[in-house]
């Protein structure tokens, strides 16, 4: 019998726990010739804002040891374009669509949630209060539990869709931030967004990014992201979408064992567009080999007792 890979996050039902992370997969159409999109548990689209955003000036992507720095700045064509031009295409993929929403004020987050709540093709909303590459909003909200609570509460008031709050790792206590989001009504949290970082060109003495700093992602952040997922899952019992440097089946299993309900595949999509699909197939093979019937048997099974 085929192993059951299905998981649930709030009212969001996924046929498997593999989700593409926002900002790394466009709206999916860019990858449709490279991967069977129907394999995926869900697609999280690139951040959507009220009005079009041109993003930051180049250079805004830099390869670093073990990862990547980016300072895209939430470039997108606005919510109207997303609803009218993007959704009609991506709804044909037959997988849940999670829309990452970003704003520079509580009012903008609320307006986006109200607009998208009326769109049946949207399966869930991911509140982006953790982007380190914008001057207003983003991480400015995500490093203060009071703002996390305020933004999340206002979004939850105007939508019946599953709400996921994407948190910043650039904080002292990630559990405290997750607790604020969950207490405000979020159904789950995404952990983690990128770490604020920089790189310098020794030949010119100048920063490699036009914005000086950007967000660090990729394999180099995986151990830190994994620790944060474990802390939140263990101490709060909150549903977590784990992300940060996941590129293999083994990486995915680490996050699930640490307590994640699902995982987000991000930077790995750039190095190998087939990564998410390969992980889905690999999870199925792993369960077969272990003679397990469901992936849910793996979630939160970490053994931290050193005497065992």
Please list the active-site residues.
131
CB 139, CB 104: distance < 8 Å: no
Q: Which of 251, 214, 227 is nearest to 133 (CA)?
A: 214
Cβ within 8 Å of residue 158, ≥6 positions away:
110, 113, 114, 117
Measured between alpha carbons, how far is residue 258 from residues 2, 149, 185, 268 in Å?
A: 24, 25, 23, 20
DSSP code for 137 = S
C-alpha span between 42 and 35 (Å, rounded): 13
Cβ within 8 Å of residue 210, ≥6 positions away:
56, 57, 58, 59, 60, 71
C-alpha span between 27 and 22 (Å, rounded): 9
Instruction: Burial-class residue 209 by CB neighbours within 10 Å (0-12, 13-18, 19+).
Output: buried
Q: Which of 113, 109, 105, 172 is nearest to 145 (CA)?
A: 172
Q: Would you call 128 helix, strand, or coil by DSSP?
A: strand
C-alpha span between 165 and 174 (Å, rounded): 13
């Amino acid at each position: 019998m085929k192993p059951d890979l299905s998981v649930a996050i709030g009212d969001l039902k996924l046929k498997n726990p593999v989700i593409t992370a926002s900002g790394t997969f466009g709206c999916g159409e860019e990858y449709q010739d490279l991967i069977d999109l129907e394999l995926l548990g869900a697609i999280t689209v690139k951040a959507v804002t009220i009005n079009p955003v041109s993003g930051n000036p180049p250079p805004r992507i830099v390869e670093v040891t073990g990862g990547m720095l980016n300072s895209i700045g939430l470039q997108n064509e606005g919510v109207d374009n997303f609803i009218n031009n993007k959704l009609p295409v991506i709804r044909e993929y037959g997988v849940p669509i999670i829309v990452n929403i970003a704003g520079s004020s509580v009012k903008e987050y609320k307006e986006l949630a109200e607009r998208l709540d009326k769109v049946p093709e949207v399966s869930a909303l991911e509140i982006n209060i953790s982007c380190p590459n914008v001057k207003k909003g983003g991480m400015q909200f995500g490093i203060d539990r009071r703002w996390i609570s305020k933004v999340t509460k206002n979004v939850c008031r105007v939508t019946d869709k599953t709400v996921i709050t994407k948190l910043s790792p650039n904080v002292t206590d990630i559990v405290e931030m997750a607790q604020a989001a969950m207490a405000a009504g979020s159904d789950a949290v995404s952990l983690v967004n990128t770490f604020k970082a920089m790189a310098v060109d020794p030949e010119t003495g100048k920063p490699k990014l036009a914005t000086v700093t950007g967000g660090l992602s990729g394999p180099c952040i995986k151990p830190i992201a994994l620790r944060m997922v474990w802390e939140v899952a263990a101490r709060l019992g909150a549903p977590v979408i784990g992300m940060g440097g996941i590129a293999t089946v083994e990486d995915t299993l680490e996050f699930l064992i640490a307590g994640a309900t699902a995982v987000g595949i991000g930077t790995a999509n750039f190095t190998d567009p087939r990564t998410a699909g390969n992980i889905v197939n690999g999870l199925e093979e792993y369960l077969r080999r272990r003679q397990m019937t469901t992936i849910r048997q793996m979630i939160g099974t970490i053994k931290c007792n050193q005497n065992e």
